[in-house]
Amino acid sequence: MLSATPTFTLEERESAYLAYMEEELRKIGSLSHFEMARLWRFAPCGHPYFILDSPLHQAFQARFNQHGGWTAEISKQVGW
């Protein structure tokens, strides 16, 4: 009988994780200041870019700061 849950080797899991991280880091690198601010303000709880000890959060924070971080102008553009 076939199992409903597929099993993956450690190597397959690591490969999938690295591919996921590379793709997400590429996405972060392509976001505009406005897109990042909007995401920061309106992302749902638990969004992977905002888990504080995550490499994705560190990359997001660094890129956002390169854009100038939270300014009065970007905050007004994003709105509530």
Domain boundaries along the sequence of the chain: 32-80
The string of pLDDT tens digits covering residues 19-43 is 999 999 999 999 999 999 999 999 9
pTM, two decimals, is 0.82
The string of pLDDT tens digits covering residues 2-11 is 667 778 899 9
Classify residue 17 by burial, with Cβ atoms within 10 Å: 0-12, 13-18, 19+: exposed
